[in-house]
Amino acid sequence: MRPRPDDGGLPRGRLVWRRLCGGPHGDLRVAHRGRQAGRPSPLPAGRQRGQQEEGREVTVRRSKSLVPTLREDPADAEALSHRLMLRAGLVRQLAAGIYVYLPLGQRVLDKVNTIVREEMNAIGGQEITMPVVQPAELWQQSGRWEGINEMFKLKDRWGRDLCLGMTHEEVVAWLAAHEIRSYRDLPQIWYQIQTKERDEARPRSGVLRTREFLMKDSYTLDPDVAALDRSYAAHERAYRRIFDRCGLRYYVVQSDTGMMGGLGSHEFMAPSAAGEDEVALCAGCGYAANVELARGVPAAPESPVWTRQEVATPNVRTIAEVSQLLGIDPRLTLKSLLYVAKTSGPVLVLVRGDHALHERKLARALGEEFRAAHPDEVRGALGAPVGSVGPVGARVPIVADEALRTGTYVVGANREGFHLKGVAPGRDFACRFADLHAVAPGEACTVCGKPLAVERVIEIGNIFKLGTKYSVPLKATYLDEAGREQPIVMGSYGIGPARIAAAAIEQLADQDGVVWPWSIAPFQVYVVVVSVKDAAQLGAAEQIYGECWGQGLEAILDDRDERPGVKFKDADLLGIPVRITVGNSFVKEGLVEVRSRRTRQERRVGQGEVVAAVRAMEAEEGRT
RNA sequence: CGGGGUGUGGCGCAGCCCGGUAGCGCACCUGCUUUGGGAGCAGGGGGCCGGAGGUUCAAAUCCUCUCACCCCGACCA
Q: Is the dihedral of CA A253, A256, A257, A261 positive or negative?
A: positive
Residues in chain A, total: 624
pLDDT interval class at A623 (50, 70, 90)? low
pLDDT at A38: 40
pLDDT at A54: 44
Alpha-helical (H) ranges within A394-532 are 497-508
User: CA–C1' span, A159 to B72, in Å?
Assistant: 40
User: CA–C1' span, A529 to B27, in Å?
Assistant: 22
For A536-557, what is the mean pLDDT? 96
Please give the ipTM for the structure prediction.
Answer: 0.96
Structural contact between residues A217 and A492, judged by C-beta atoms closer than 8 angstroms = yes
What number of H helices and E strands is found in chain A? 13, 31
- Which helix (H) or strand (E) segment holds residue A606: the answer is strand A602-606
- Higher-confidence residue of A54 and A8: namely A54
Structural contact between residues A490 and A157, judged by C-beta atoms closer than 8 angstroms = no
The share of chain A scoring above pLDDT 70, in percent, equals 90
Q: What is the CA radius of gyration of chain A?
A: 30
User: CA–C1' span, A130 to B63, in Å?
Assistant: 53
Of A351, A336, A353, give the one whose Cα is nearest residue A413. Answer: A336
Please check the confidence at residue A24 and state whether its pLDDT lies above 80: no
- Which helix (H) or strand (E) segment holds residue A119: the answer is helix A103-122
**DSSP per residue, A82-96:** HHHHHHTTSEEEEET
pLDDT interval class at A376 (50, 70, 90)? confident
Alpha-carbon span A588 to A157, nearest angstrom = 72
Q: Is the backbone peptide bond immediately before A271 cis, with ω within 30 degrees of 0?
A: no
User: CA–C1' span, A418 to B54, in Å?
Assistant: 53
What DSSP character marks residue A601? -
User: CA–C1' span, A75 to B18, in Å?
Assistant: 29
- Higher-confidence residue of A149 and A522: namely A522
Nucleotide with smallest C1' distance to residue A363 CA:
B75
pLDDT at A259: 65
Of A344, A331, A556, A328, give the one whose Cα is nearest residue A432. Answer: A344
Nucleotide with smallest C1' distance to residue A274 CA:
B71
Alpha-carbon span A214 to A192, nearest angstrom = 10
Residue nearest to nucleotide B1 (CA to C1'): A201
Alpha-carbon span A504 to A598, nearest angstrom = 13
Residue A347: strand pairing partners: A339
pLDDT at A380: 87
pLDDT at A56: 52
User: CA–C1' span, A74 to B56, in Å?
Assistant: 38
pLDDT interval class at A229 (50, 70, 90)? very high
What DSSP character marks residue A149? T
User: CA–C1' span, A378 to B68, in Å?
Assistant: 38
pLDDT at A319: 87
The region of weakest confidence among A48-62, A189-203, A512-526 is A48-62
A65-96 pLDDT, tens digit each: 999 999 999 999 999 999 999 999 999 999 99
In terms of C-beta density within 10 A (0-12 exposed, 13-18 middle, 19 or more buried), how is residue A482 classed? Answer: exposed
CB-contacted nucleotides of strand B (7 Å): 1-2, 6, 11-13, 25-27, 34-39, 68-77
Query: Beta-strand (E) ranges in A307-436?
Result: 309-312, 334-341, 345-352, 370-372, 398-401, 409-412, 418-423, 432-434
A303-358 pLDDT, tens digit each: 888 889 999 998 888 888 888 899 999 999 999 999 988 888 899 999 999 999 99
Structural contact between residues A315 and A325, judged by C-beta atoms closer than 8 angstroms = no
> To the nearest whole number, what is the mean pLDDT of chain A?
89
> Which residues contact residue A104 at a Cβ distance below 8 angstroms, ignoring those fewer than 6 apart?
A28, A67, A88, A89, A90, A522, A574
A414-472 pLDDT, tens digit each: 998 899 999 999 999 999 999 999 999 999 999 999 999 999 999 999 999 999 999 99
Query: Beta-strand (E) ranges in A72-187?
Result: 91-95, 98-101, 126-127, 133-135, 153-155, 161-164
A460-519 pLDDT, tens digit each: 999 999 999 999 999 999 999 999 999 999 999 999 999 999 999 999 999 999 999 999
User: CA–C1' span, A20 to B35, in Å?
Assistant: 36
A112-141 pLDDT, tens digit each: 999 999 999 999 999 999 999 999 999 999
Please check the confidence at residue A571 and state whether its pLDDT lies above 50: yes
Residue A194: strand pairing partners: A215
Nucleotide with smallest C1' distance to residue A371 CA:
B74
pLDDT interval class at A4 (50, 70, 90)? very low
Nucleotide with smallest C1' distance to residue A143 CA:
B77
Residue A526: strand pairing partners: A556, A579
For A188-209, what is the mean pLDDT? 96
Catalogue the long-range contacts made by A566-573 (C-beta closer than 8 Å, 24 or more residues apart): A567/A528, A567/A530, A568/A528, A569/A512, A570/A62, A570/A69, A571/A526, A571/A528, A571/A597, A572/A512, A572/A513, A572/A597, A573/A69, A573/A84, A573/A87, A573/A88, A573/A512, A573/A513, A573/A514
- Higher-confidence residue of A386 and A599: namely A599
pLDDT at A50: 40
Nucleotide with smallest C1' distance to residue A98 CA:
B69
Alpha-carbon span A268 to A503, nearest angstrom = 12
Nucleotide with smallest C1' distance to residue A534 CA:
B35
Amino acid at A165: G
Alpha-carbon span A538 to A540, nearest angstrom = 5
> Which residues contact residue A585 at a Cβ distance below 8 angstroms, ignoring those fewer than 6 apart?
A591, A592, A593, A604
